[in-house]
Structure 1
Amino acid sequence: MSIQRALKIHNQDKWTWLYIAFIILFVSFLFALTIGVLIPGDEKALVTGFSYIFVYMFVMGVVGFNQTFAYAMGMSLRRTDYWMSIAIMGLRSCLLFTILFVLLAWVEEWTHGWGNQLIFFNFPYLNDGNIFEQFAVYFIAFVNFFFLGLFISIFTKRYGLRGLLTLGLTVLFSITLAVLLATYFEVWTDLFHWVVQHTAFQLSIWLIPLALLYMIVSFLIIRRTAV
């Protein structure tokens, strides 16, 4: 099947899809663990180096497409099959890292911060819910970062840097307008109270339509994208 052929292209590059991310996570954790050892007493050390993996998933959405799209088209694969294959790879990586983060958060809590009150995986607020809610928070976040990167890379391929600049300016203008309106109508306090009244899991649900938007638009664009 064409999707399986396309998946083989991505599976050959395990370094990009898995190993580099593991190395980044391992190095940042060792650095955080060293900081935790150096802090005296019972003070908790809060280190957020694990956030690099979220950024890496965004980069994977960009790099994964740019490195393989032309090659896949050279193998006469359909654009639909190619998009499905890279989406499957992205979702698989998101699932793997989500499971890893949830498990390590549990280990961190069980060992009381790896024996020295380190907070690295069991992050306050993000990990306040049950295991299902924690899983959903991380998985939805990973999926959003990956498909945002994929959308940007496909959009740039289709419309070029001029199109990307136009899109960026449009988004920037929209955000600026929203900030001005929120300031004018004095809704910042109400917005802040609304956010703090919701858990990380409840807020993450609002990101699902955004992830679906990235998926749908990138899928529609790639069908008309030239090599």
Structure 2
Amino acid sequence: MSIQRALKIHNQDKWTWLYIAFIILFVSFLFGLTIAVFIPGDDKIMITGFSYIFVYMFVMGVTGFSQTFAYAMGMSVRRTDYWMSMAIMGLRSSLLFTIIFVFLALIENWTNGWGNQLIFFHFPYLNDGNIFKQFIVYFMGFANFFFLGLLISIFAKRYTLKGLLILGLAFLFSITLAVLLITYFEVWMDLFQWFVQHTAFQLSIWFIPLTLFYMTASFLIIRKTAV
């Protein structure tokens, strides 16, 4: 099956899909731990370790497509199968990083910040719920960022830089209009209170329709994307 050939292409690039992310995470954690060791005091030191992987998943969605699409088409892989292979890789990576973060968050909590008051994996608010809720929060976050990057990359390939520029301008216009309306009707405080009243788990549920939209849109666009 062509989907297996596509997966083989991705699996050969373990540096991009795994090793680089682990190196980034390890170096950033080591940096944070060093700061915690050499800075005296009882105050907790907070470094958002999850943000590095969120950004990396977005980058993987963008570069994973741009680096392998033409090659996969040359290997006679169907566009549908290629998209499926990208989706599998993205979901698999999201699952792997989620397991790692939840597991290390438990250890960090048990060891009181690795014995140095460091907050790197067990982040306030995001890790307030039970293990299942923490799992959903991180998994949906990683998956959302990956498929957003994939959609942008496929959209840019299909509609070129001009189409991407138009999309970007339309997005900025929508954001600007939303800010003006919120300011005009003075609902900033209501919006802030709405976020405060919801847990990270409850907010992460909103990622589900967004992620499904990114997946559906990227799937429909790639079917008509030229090499």
Q: Distance in 2 between matches of 1:41 and 1:11?
A: 45
Superposed, which structure 2 residues align to 1:171-210 within 5 Å? Answer: 171-210=171-210
Q: Distance in 2 between matches of 1:106 and 1:216?
A: 35
1:45-68 per-position Cα deviation (integer Å, ceiling 9, x unaligned): 111244111100000001100110
Q: Distance in 2 between matches of 1:190 and 1:174?
A: 20
Per the TM alignment, residue 2 of structure 1 is displaced from its structure 2 partner at its CA by 1.4
What residue number does 2:19 align with? 19
Q: Distance in 1 between matches of 2:67 and 2:172?
A: 28
- Which letter maps to 1:66? S
- Which letter maps to 1:152? I
- Which letter maps to 2:88? I
Aligned positions, number: 227
Q: Distance in 2 between matches of 1:129 and 1:49?
A: 18
What residue number does 1:154 align with? 154
Equivalent pair of 2:2/2:76 in contact (CA under 8 Å)? no
Per the TM alignment, residue 38 of structure 1 is displaced from its structure 2 partner at its CA by 1.5
Per the TM alignment, residue 43 of structure 1 is displaced from its structure 2 partner at its CA by 1.4
- The TM-score, its normalising length taken from structure 2, stands at 0.99
Q: Distance in 1 between matches of 2:196 and 2:41?
A: 31
Matched position secondary structure for 1:82: helix
Structure 2 residue runs of 5 or longer lacking an equivalent are none
- Which letter maps to 2:47? V
Q: Distance in 2 between matches of 1:20 and 1:69?
A: 21
Equivalent pair of 1:158/1:222 in contact (CA under 8 Å)? yes
Matched position secondary structure for 1:129: coil
Superposed, which structure 2 residues align to 1:1-227 within 5 Å? Answer: 1-227=1-227
Equivalent pair of 1:29/1:50 in contact (CA under 8 Å)? no
1:13-37 per-position Cα deviation (integer Å, ceiling 9, x unaligned): 0000000000000000000000111
- Which letter maps to 1:174? S
Q: Distance in 2 between matches of 1:86 and 1:155?
A: 15
Equivalent pair of 1:28/1:50 in contact (CA under 8 Å)? no
- State the 4+ residue runs in structure 1 displaced beyond 4 angstroms: none
Structure 1 residue runs of 5 or longer lacking an equivalent are none
Q: Distance in 2 between matches of 1:73 and 1:50?
A: 34
Matched position secondary structure for 2:224: coil
